[in-house]
Copies of this chain bind each other. A is one copy, B any other.
């Protein structure tokens, strides 16, 4: 059953939106995690039409966030970009914008974290207005320097608590970022219904690049089925999103890769 399988467009990087939509649909896939670059160069209504024509749902728009800033102008520009992302998500029918919250090497982590909290707060009203959720994706601690200062699920839960648990803020739980955490099971249970996105791939040994050496599910050491079980124990029954950055797989034949993704999903996720 592929009913819950979604693929992020970045996973099959060489395909633009029309090709990806046609290929995914032909393979029986029904959900797409749409990266914003895949919307460039055509009206949003046209992108929406491409998805509709293939019976595909946009399950997430990727990505907003990057709130830490070095000037008031950067601050406003980051907020504006997130408001635009919410509009784009609404236009293509995506229920959530996935947030890579950001970090600046020039700032203390505590400062980046404060900027993230303020940035999120500034976007909640528009999230409510658009009906699109802000989905915080805690990133692996190896990205704390310049990608995200939000690095564990526990920290994400604390942050959402601090913001007053607004229903407009959810969590995208990606096994790649979270699998190592000794508190993972506990914090998944604590997150409960906040978890609105579940991303899968695998951790390779050795990992030869910090960003673009993710594995296909089953190629690595992550207990994907175990984490999925814990996530579903919260009541989560939505899409399972395959998000793989891999120079190795990106250089592979994409049609064959898509088949391997489906097989890996069936064997190592379901």
Q: Contacts of A221 on B, CB cut-off 8 Å? A: 105, 145
Contact yes or no, B141 A155, CB < 8 A: no
Bound-state Cα–Cα, A108 to B179, Å: 11
Contact yes or no, B180 A146, CB < 8 A: no
| A139 to B: closest C-beta gap in Å | 10
How many residues of A are in contact with the other chain, CB < 8 A?
28
Contact yes or no, B210 A180, CB < 8 A: no
Q: Is the interface of A mostly helix, strand, loop or mixed?
A: loop
Bound-state Cα–Cα, A105 to B223, Å: 10
| A92 to B: closest C-beta gap in Å | 32
Contact yes or no, A109 B180, CB < 8 A: yes
Cβ contacts A to B, 25 pairs, < 8 Å: A105-B205, A105-B221, A108-B223, A109-B179, A109-B180, A109-B182, A109-B223, A141-B141, A141-B142, A141-B180, A141-B181, A142-B142, A142-B210, A144-B180, A145-B203, A145-B205, A145-B207, A145-B220, A145-B221, A146-B205, A146-B206, A151-B180, A151-B182, A158-B182, A210-B210
- Identify the A interface with B (CB < 8 A): 105, 108-109, 113, 140-142, 144-146, 151-152, 155, 158, 179-182, 203, 205-208, 210, 220-221, 223, 226
